[in-house]
Structure 1
Amino acid sequence: MYKYTVIFILAIIFFCYFSFAYSKYYNGNVSDHFDGSRFFDSDLNNEKNFFDFLKWRVTEKSSPWPDKVPNNQFDLPPARVMGSDLRVSYVGHVTFLIQTQGLNILTDPVWSERASPVSFAGPKRVIDPGINFEHLPPIDIVWVSHNHYDHLDLATINLLWQKHKPRIITPLGNDTIIKASNSEIEVEAYDWGDQVIINDYVKFHIEPMQHWSARGLFDRNKALWAALNIETNSGNIYFVGDSGYGNGRYFKKAREKFGSFRLALLPMGAYEPRWFMQYAHMNPEDMVRAYIDLGRPFTVPSHYDVFKLTDEPRGEALIKLEKAKKFLSVGDKIRNLEPGQFWLVPSIANAE
């Protein structure tokens, strides 16, 4: 295990050395979360650095994962879901197909075998995506929450562009990364607090979340990260790709701003060891607390059991989720989906 860890670290260093030229992603005015060079969180910034990463990898107490888990269920989504009906299909990790109001929206699409800068090392998918790529309906919108490799998968973005020509929406700076891969791709980049009109019935709100960004050693926080609220005339859909809990500050602010949510898609994996991961990733108890902060909407957890990113064993997140639900006395509105499963989400009237 140690040998493979060293090889992976050396591969990252090699890649990052040659990616230095692409580390300036955004030029813009100074703001309360951008200093002219890097983005930051004015309330609570991530103090962990590359040396902390090395400390974790050298001292890690990692649990073994299976090389492959068979996926015996693959969704065949309809071409469109019209009106106020809401269908959400779990592809895997944090990739969801959201269908409502005649739109097909993909979040953080990753179909690649590895979440890594190189094809021969790094976190490998242990279960196949829940929708075969060729069975996707016409994709209208792609949302990319930030630039980590398990969220911004350039190979998948290129395939989606070639086949579907979707409208790609992302926080500031991530457009530079995508266009450096393929200059023909059209990307829209937005700041925290921005609103994006999709059509007469749907609006995107780009919202803060507690995280950070980097694809190499020299580009830390040079691209922005964000949560997404999808406002529809039948309720809000709140998607978080990655976030620490941070005493619930951003979840509580989202509830204050938007009032209620029909659906929340919240991460709960890659959480051990807590001393290193707590700022950036929620564990299952954190996720349940975020669900409470948001007003207890219908919720699907994500970011677990697909890529081995951290030390916890595969399957632990779901066990801890059930314990957290009992400990915090929550109802049955949190529904875990396996890749390939979908949910016809009830109306917001049933979420009250």
Structure 2
Amino acid sequence: MLAQKRYENLDQINTIRSAKELLRWRKERRGKTKDLSFVVPHDEDIDIAFLQNNRTEMTITWIGHSTFLLQMNGLNILTDPVWANRMGFDKRLSRPGIPIIDLPPIDLVLISHGHYDHLDFYTLRRISGEPQFFVPDGLLGLMKRKGYKKVREFSWWDSFTIQNLTFTFVPAQHWTRRTLWDTNTSHWGGWIIEQKGGKTIYFAGDSGYFRGFKEIGKRFSIDYALMPIGAYEPEWFMSPQHVNPEEAVRAFLDVKAKCFIPMHYGAFRLADDTPKEALERVKSEWERLRLPNEQLNILKLGEIFRPDLSHKNT
């Protein structure tokens, strides 16, 4: 039998931590006291009927963690759909912004990588519609074993166009594993979604800070960057795989986007930082660099961001 392919990061950066390092982190965690009373706010006035019927207007709706509902060119698109109530032994910190039963029929699902907080088959089975799945190289076999047939695999920089939307899988610095035996047997990355003659969204997935952000910024003209800001503490352990809030702002500047929308915080306790800490550090860095307030859009859970109408800042 041929050995399974193992994927790597740019410059062969290693993001896998040893058992000794993991034990060190767990020992540190027991000595910390964290205030988890802050809960990411929900939009309590969501126009569900609009989302279910909209096929003309571009929208960006944050469901929670790395899950967004994107509506572009008549397509309903989900990124890394996870409606799970638990991740491992920990309960979800905040409910999803929209109940899964209230979603419109989904046409396309974008997966950034195979970690459980980004690829949840229990969620996928509950999505309405008959979506296509765009997944990183190496995940096709798993998707087919789970019964999904409308699946397309992408290597870094691969593109595909549907209804005048071009989807390109772009690099990230991360890793993946779902069992003890499949470490890095599929790839990881982010997604660029380009409207012909219109807007461009960058969904960054999970990533440590790396030179690939500058390369992405050179290749694309990005309007909206959906960037992770959480799961960074302790930084000696997490930094190769997760940007901290200041690095997220730096990555936003590297990709030269016009608007920063934070994600990957507030739903699951994957590390020692809290949602409040992540948001405060992003805001502090934004102020330190004197960046325009209107370029930072911190969404509530379930909030429908409508680029053609929205000129707000948070």
Q: TM-score, normalised by structure 2?
A: 0.89
1:105 corresponds in structure 2 to 77
Correspondence for 1:183? 147
Q: What residue number does 2:51 align with?
A: 78
Task: Confirm or deny that 1:337 pairs with 2:309.
Answer: no
Residues 1:250 and 2:222 are matched in the alignment? no
Q: Does 1:226 align with 2:195?
A: no
> Which letter maps to 1:275?
W
Partner residue of 1:142? Answer: 109
2:177 maps to which of 214, 217, 230: 214
Q: 1:80 to 1:269 in 2, by over 3 A?
A: same
After TM superposition, the structure 1 = structure 2 runs for residues 271-350 of structure 1, keeping only pairs within 5 Å, are 271-332=232-293, 333-346=295-308
Secondary structure (helix, strand or coil) at the match of 1:164 reads coil
Could you tell me how far 1:250 is from its partner in structure 2?
A: 1.3
Aligned length: 302
State the alpha-carbon separation in 2 of the partners of residues 217 and 327 from structure 1.
43
CA offset at residue 212 of structure 1? 0.8
The alignment status of 1:55 with 2:24, answered yes or no, reads yes
- What is the alpha-carbon distance in structure 1 between the residues aligned to residue 278 and residue 10 of structure 2? 30
For residues 70 and 334 of structure 1, what CA distance do their matches in structure 2 show?
17
Computed over aligned residues only, the root mean square deviation of the Cα atoms, in angstroms, reads: 2.3
Residue identity matched to 2:144? K
**2:159 is the alignment partner of 1:195:** yes
Superimposed CA distance per residue, residues 3-48 of structure 1 (whole angstroms, 9 cap, x where no aligned partner)? xxxxxxxxxxxxxxxxxxxxx9xx8xxxxxxx96200124142253
Partner letter of residue 272 of structure 1?
A: E
Higher mean displacement: 233-242 or 42-51: 42-51
Structure 2 unpaired stretches of 5+: 310-314
The normalised TM-score by structure 1 is 0.80
**In the TM superposition, what are the counterparts of 1:106-145 in structure 2 within 5 Å?**
106-116=78-88, 121=89, 123-145=90-112
Shift in Å, 1:68: 7.5
What is the CA distance between 1:209 and its match in structure 2? 0.8
Aligned residue number for residue 312 of structure 2: none
Query: Quick one: structure 1 residues 71 and 325, their matched pair in 2 at CA, closer, same or farther if it must change by over 3 Å?
Result: closer
- Structure-1 separation of matches of 2:153 and 2:186: 10
Give deviations 1:44-98, integer Å, cap 9, x for gaps: 4225324122321233244253497785626314235455x42101100010011
Code of the aligned partner of 1:53: L
Q: Secondary structure at the match of 1:299?
A: strand
Identity percentage of aligned residues: 36
